[in-house]
Amino acid sequence: MRINVYISAAGYCSRRAAERLVVNNQVTINGILATKNDLVEEGDIVRVDDEIIVPNMEKVYIALNKPRGIVCTGLRSVPGNIIDFVNYPTRVFPVGRLDKESEGLIILTNDGPIAHKILHSEHGHEKEYIVTVDQLITEKFITDMGAGVKIGSITTKKCFVSFVNHSTFRIILTQGLNRQIRKMCKALGYRVVKLQRIRIMNIELGDLEEGKWRHLTEKELFLLENQIKEEES
């Protein structure tokens, strides 16, 4: 198993984050610094810094209603990091990001493979948001947002956008560019004053209180895994 896949499967962090750990010379296999293409075999001892990495036996899946000000990082050294905020008794990591100023649904898990699949935007996984901006929303704004907005050298994919009220709209994205909604609004002359994610695929925020978390239900996991399999095929 490749070293980044092994670390992710052990529930330490995502594959991408594991690759960064390797590049930063924080990973060893049997006492030797790992490289990104190294393979882990049975009996090998893998360490991140001084911590031995072992596969998790029990998988954990958490839905959190993240408040503003919490940072979606697994680095405990970052003030306001999401790991310390949740304070779960075993190691988990966030699936993707929700920027510090934003709030709402984020999934945390120790299941690296499923996290990797959720994060692969080419499968068209939906994420739904409620967004409030600093001025009156027009029909043109809704149309332009839905048609795709040019951000630098990239034009965003077409997406579903609808009115909620005079200053609030609903948007469903199938791609995950960094701070995408904020940049789309800025390009059209608007500023986001509140951004809340209310759904990731079939997982909904519902009435989960701000700052609280819950385990995903068996039904949610079943539907999530089935949706991933369908989209991959």
The secondary structure of 22-64 as a DSSP string is HHTT-EEETTEE--TT-B--TT--EEETTEEP---SS--EEEE
Reply yes or no on whether the pLDDT at 91 is more than 70: yes
Reply yes or no on whether the pLDDT at 224 is more than 90: yes
Burial class (CB in 10 A: 0-12, 13-18, 19+), 33: exposed
Q: Which CATH superfamily is domain 3-52 in?
A: RNA-binding S4 domain (3.10.290.10)
3-class DSSP state of 92: coil
Cα–Cα distance measured from residue 162 to residue 194, given in angstroms and rounded to the nearest whole number: 16
* Cβ(19)–Cβ(27) below 8 Å: no
pLDDT bin (cut points 50, 70, 90) of residue 123 is low
* Cβ(145)–Cβ(133) below 8 Å: no
Q: Do domains 61-120+209-228 and 126-200 have the same CATH topology?
A: yes
Nearest to 168 by CA among 199, 198, 193, 204: 193
Cα–Cα distance measured from residue 7 to residue 39, given in angstroms and rounded to the nearest whole number: 11
pLDDT bin (cut points 50, 70, 90) of residue 136 is very high
Q: Name which residue leads in pLDDT, 42 or 221.
A: 221
Please give the pLDDT value at position 57.
63
Query: How many residues in the chain?
Result: 233
Look at the domain 126-200 and name its fold: Alpha-Beta Plaits (3.30.70)
Nearest to 195 by CA among 58, 101, 55, 81: 101
Q: Which CATH number fits domain 61-120+209-228: 3.30.1490.20, 3.30.70.580, 3.40.640.10, 1.20.1260.10?
A: 3.30.70.580
Nearest to 121 by CA among 177, 74, 61, 73: 177
Reply yes or no on whether the pLDDT at 81 is more than 60: yes
pTM: 0.79
Q: Name which residue leads in pLDDT, 199 or 50.
A: 199
Average pLDDT, integer, range 150-169: 96
Percent of the chain with pLDDT over 70: 97
Catalytic residue IDs: 99
